[in-house]
Chains A and B, each alone.
Chain A
Amino acid sequence: MTTRHAAWAALGNVLDPELDEPITSLGFVASLEVEDGAVTAELRLPTYFCAPNFVHMMVADADAELRALPGVSAVRVGVAGHFAAEEFQTEIFPDMADLRLVFRRKAFLAAQSRLVRSLGWDADTLAGAALADVPPSPLAEAYGRARERLGLRGAWLITDPGGARVPRDRLARHLRFADAVRVSIEGNAEHCRALLAARYPDELGGVA
C-alpha cells in the first residue's frame, strides 16, 4: 500500500519544466492526502497567471508519477488559485512534446555550465575531455541526468544539446551561452520563489 511518504517522494520526481527543480522543493505542493489507495494532491503556484502550458505539464507529470505507485487506485491532481484551474481537469491539452524538448535542452546547458564552472579546467582541457575524465560529484550526476533526458550517449564531455561535440574554436562562445542559460533559469527560480512567498506568506515550508 502506498504511503503519503512514498507519494511525496514520487512528486519529487516532477520538475517545473522551466526551472528544472522538483515541485516539492519549490513549495508548489499545497496538500497531499493518501487514503485507501486514493491519492489527492493540490498544487499551488507563484501567480494566478503562471503559464498554463507549464502548469499543465506539472499536473500531467504528477498524475503519472502517482499512478505508477503500487496499490494506487485513484489519483486527482488539482491546482489552487490559477485562472485556468478548471481547464486542467477537463480540457485536452495539445501535445507539449516540442516545448518539453526546448526546456530539456536548456536544462542540459545549465547543468553543463554548473559542472564546467566547478571543474575550473582550461579551454584546451575541456575541449579534449571525455565524460569519464570527470570525477564523481553531485553536479556531474545532475549533468548525467540532463543528458539522459535528452537521450545523449556519446563520450565527449562538452557537446551541444543535440549531442554533437563542440569544437575548440567554438568552445568559449558555447560555454558563455550555457552560462546565460544558467543565469536565466536560476534568476527565474528566484523570482518564482519570491512570488510564492509573497502569495503564501504563512505556509512556506510546512507542507512536507
Chain B
Amino acid sequence: MEASRETTAAVHSSSVASGRTLWKDLARDRYLYLLLLPGLFLILLFRYAPMYGIVIAFQDFNIFKGVKGSEWVGFDQFSRLFNSPDFYEILRNTVLISLYKLAASFSIPIILSLLLNELKHVLFKRVTQSIIYLPHFVSWVIFSGIIISFLNPVDGLFNMIASQFGGAKTDYLGSSAYFRSILVLSDIYKEVGWGTIIYLAAISGVNADLYEAARIDGANKGRQMWHVTLPAIRPVIIILVILSLANILEAGFQQVFLLYSPLVYDVGDIIDTYVYRVGIQEANYSYATAAGLFKSFVAMVLIVSVNKLVKMSGQDGLW
C-alpha cells in the first residue's frame, strides 16, 4: 500500500514539468474537481465572502460607519491587549489550561477506545458507548451547577463526606491550588466519551486478519494493541492532534466563566474571560476581534509548523 502510493507520487512529480501535462491532469481529474466544486462553493460563499470583516481588528469599528467608514487604528487594539497589566498572567493561564486539556483529550480517549474494543459482549459494548458519551450533551451551564453542588464549601457532597469523617471543609472553587485541576478534570469527564467515537470508527476499519496473525505469533492483548491497533489508527491520531492545536489559546470560555471568581483570577483568568469583561465595559467589538485574530494567528502558525514536522517525519499531514 505504501509502496504503490510512493510510485504514484513519483510518476506524478516527474511529469509536472510541461504545461500540456497540466491540462492533461486537469482533464484526467475532471470528476475529482466536480466532486470538489459544491463544497468549495459553499466555503467560498459562506466563509470567504464575509472574510473582509477581519479588518475591523485594525479599526475603531462603528457598525453604522461600516468597514469603509470606520477609523483605522492600525495595531492599537493589539498593543492594548499585549500591554494590559495582566497580559502575561492571562496568557500563561490560557496556555497552561489548554495544554493540560489537550494532553488529556488526546490520550485518554485513545486508551478508552482500545479498552472498549476489547469488550466482546456486543450489547454491553454498545450500551457502554452510548452512556459514556452522555456528559457531552450536558451544557456547561448545567454541568457547572453540578460541579458547584459537589464542591461548594457548605453543602457540597465532597465536603459533606469529608465532614462525616471529621475532615475540614475546603473551598475548592475558591482555591488557587485546586482551580485548574477542577477545570481540566471536569473537561475530561465531559468530553472523554465523545472523544472515543472517532477512534472507535477508526478501529473498526482495522483488518481482523492482522489480529489473527499477531495471535499466532504469540502476541498477548497488550502487544496486539501496541503493534496492530495503534499503528492502524495512527494517521487519525496525528490528524486529530494537529487539528486540536487550533484550540491552543482556547481554554474554554464558558467553563471558566461559570466557575471562576475573583479569588482564583490568578490561576483562572484567561484571554477570553478578560476580553469579555473589557468588552462588556466598552461594547468594543474591535478589541474582541483583535484578540480573536491574535489567537487564530498563533494557532495557524502552530498548525502549519507541526504539519510540516509531521510530513518531514514521513507521516501524512493535513495536506
State whether these chains interact: no
Chain B residues within 8 Å of A, Cβ to Cβ:
none
